[in-house]
Amino acid sequence: MLTGLPVSGKPVLGHTDDPIILFNKAFPSSRIEDYKTETAIFGKGKIKTTWLHNRFSSLQVNEGDPLWDEYRRAFMLWCISSYIVPDASTGLVEIEYTTVLGDLEDIGNYAWGAAAWATMQHQLKSRKLNGMAFALVVFMVLRVQPLHDLLLGYSGEQPIAEYQFPLILSYLTPLTKSCNSRCCLKNMSYDFLATVRPDQVNPNPYTRFPPRCKDQLFKACSKTLCFNRVVVEPHEPNRIPGQFGFVEVVVDPDFSHFPDIKDQLPKKGPKKCRDLSKEYARFTKFWNDRSPLRGPLLDNWEVQPWMEEYQGDIVMKDASNSRRKLLILDINGLLADIVEPIPRGNKFCLRVGSKAVFKRPHCEDFMLFCLERFDVGIWSSKTKKNVDSILARLLSFHTRFQLKFCWDQSNCTVTNLKTPESGNKFVMYKEIKKLSAIGGYDESNTLLVDDSPYKAYKNSPNTAIFPKTYSYKNLEDDSLGPEGDLRVYLEGLALAENVQEYVKNHPFGQRPINNDPDQDGSDFPNL
């Protein structure tokens, strides 16, 4: 998070694209055509850090060479994966992080990127790809004003970045690992930190950490961030706690009473890193909602930014401020026809138990059309196992990769009423209000597309449309095609300001059931 990258594993810029396209843009010299066949590079649709290291660590590249930008991107991805936002799967890094590394010169315009950029440049000039002290040096760049000025060439009255930084949570592991590492920084004098005055050190809001983390962080910083000539190397604990943002004065440098960091970390190190997204759920929710935590408010700022380290930085808007609408698509009757028993003499794309799945014409192209114009989620009333199996055959990996969510019957509201299609199945509602768990979407920017009107009975009016149910027997079906009625309708919706107003003024498909959110649905006219 210190670099503007969220715990959730998605860049704050929110860009999504085909993994192959992103990879080829970032590393044109290693251009690939199919990520599935490139097992040395990709794993689970993500880049393997072993490939980054093997490809670039021994590569002799000078500034100005064609591979220079690729070398720098590889370094940043490696640091992100190893220390900033560790992936739950060992040795993998999200390809989407390349979206914030597109223009490497531009990244320095961000306050969060400037520190990382300066540090990276120093390390690259020393031909060090290990980056073990990366997070630590960034920490110091942000906290010590003279060091900030020295690296970034900045001097002025504007406060530095820590006022708006959400504090990084994944410090413990990188700090521990850094205790046995070295990182070369040029232009550092022997007594640089010794001359830092208390008024030049910016306080750090450690109250966001549990108390035990404060001691661990203090111990690790004191042992690691001690400048000796031009090298950062571990030695005796530094006696100037103020330079790390602490107000306590440590007279005795003996840290034996502090908890041992290594004892509180998994023995296998980063392979068993904590899942921060579960351990710090409230931080995850803020990032998923695109509303990062902020530091103390600044009195001299007229408008408080959401994610600006400096007043002039680019605002990272949360989803609630986005004009992009959410489209929720059903599977059976919309993207496919799921038939039981299996009909003879007809070619289907998948068999699920005793049922046959017929893929609707133009399905994949229709999904690409939707993803270009909307945030898209899938919501089916079938079991998760069946949903996963069906989507794996209906949609390509690249399409599934871009879905906002994929919900099944566990996300539906189950009633004791029987469905009109089958007397053996219970009615399930798809209540849009449950989207509050995702954040940023409401009735004004969300549309449910389902062929069963009763599933939207509990929702507000004009938040859903109900196309006619698709049947594999209809060989003339073209609803999802370029000139199809549903695609044309969604073209207009994409340009509309408000979903409910558009649906109200442009009726489509089957008529909705008159709903009353306070009723249980037992008075359905067609039930």
CA 425 to chain centre: 37
User: pLDDT at residue 31 above 60?
Assistant: yes
Q: Mean pLDDT throughout 140-163? A: 41
Q: pLDDT tier at 465 (50, 70, 90 boundaries)?
A: very high
User: How high does pLDDT run on average in the chain?
Assistant: 60
Longest dimension (CA), the chain: 86
Q: pLDDT tier at 471 (50, 70, 90 boundaries)?
A: very high
Q: pLDDT tier at 189 (50, 70, 90 boundaries)?
A: very low
pLDDT of residue 423: 62
pLDDT digits (tens, 9 = 90+) for 277-307: 333 333 334 333 322 222 333 333 333 222 2
Instruction: Give residues with Cβ within 8 angstroms of 246, minimum separation 6.
Output: 206, 218
DSSP string, 283-317: HHHHHHTT-----SPPTT-SS--SS-SSTTSPP--
The sign one gets for the Cα dihedral 407, 408, 410, 412 is: positive
Under 8 Å between Cβ of 361 and 481:
yes
pTM: 0.43
pLDDT digits (tens, 9 = 90+) for 196-247: 444 444 433 222 333 433 443 343 333 333 222 222 222 233 332 332 333 3
pLDDT digits (tens, 9 = 90+) for 35-56: 777 888 888 778 888 888 778 7
Q: Give the rounded percent of residues in the chain with a pLDDT score beyond 90.
A: 11
Highest mean pLDDT among 65-79, 230-244, 480-494: 480-494
What CA–CA distance (Å, rounded) separates 403 from 16?
10
**How many other C-beta atoms can be found within 10 angstroms of the C-beta atom of residue 71?**
20
What CA–CA distance (Å, rounded) separates 216 from 175?
9
pLDDT of residue 267: 38
pLDDT digits (tens, 9 = 90+) for 494-517: 888 889 999 999 999 888 886 554
Q: Mean pLDDT throughout 114-132? A: 37
Joined tokens for residue 118 = 């300066």
Coil, helix or strand at residue 92: strand
User: pLDDT at residue 125 above 70?
Assistant: no
Identify the residue with better confidence: 489 or 186: 489
What are the CB-based long-range contacts (under 8 Å, 24+) for 29-36? 29/66, 29/67, 29/70, 30/55, 30/70
User: What's the half-sphere exposure (Cβ side, CA atoms, 13 Å) at 290?
Assistant: 18
Task: Give the closest residue to 459 by CA, choosing from 518, 376, 524, 419.
Answer: 518
Instruction: Give residues with Cβ within 8 angstroms of 146, minimum separation 6.
Output: 192, 196, 200
pLDDT of residue 193: 35
pLDDT of residue 404: 82
Helix axes 145-152, 111-125, angle to 10 degrees: 70
Domains of the chain: residue spans and CATH? 19-319 (no CATH), 323-505 (3.40.50.1000)
pLDDT digits (tens, 9 = 90+) for 371-423: 888 889 999 988 888 888 888 888 876 677 678 888 888 889 888 887 766 66
The residues with which 183 forms a beta bridge, in sequence order, are 232
Identify the residue with better confidence: 486 or 112: 486
User: pLDDT at residue 115 above 60?
Assistant: no
Helix (H), strand (E), coil (C) string for 481-503: CCCCHHHHHHHHHHHCCCHHHHH
Buried-exposed string 146-171: b where 16+ CB fall within 10 A, e elsewhere: ebbebbbeeeeeebbbbbbbbbbbbb
Under 8 Å between Cβ of 441 and 404:
no
Q: Do β-strands 46-48 and 92-93 pair in parallel, antiparallel, or remain unpaired?
A: antiparallel
pLDDT of residue 104: 53
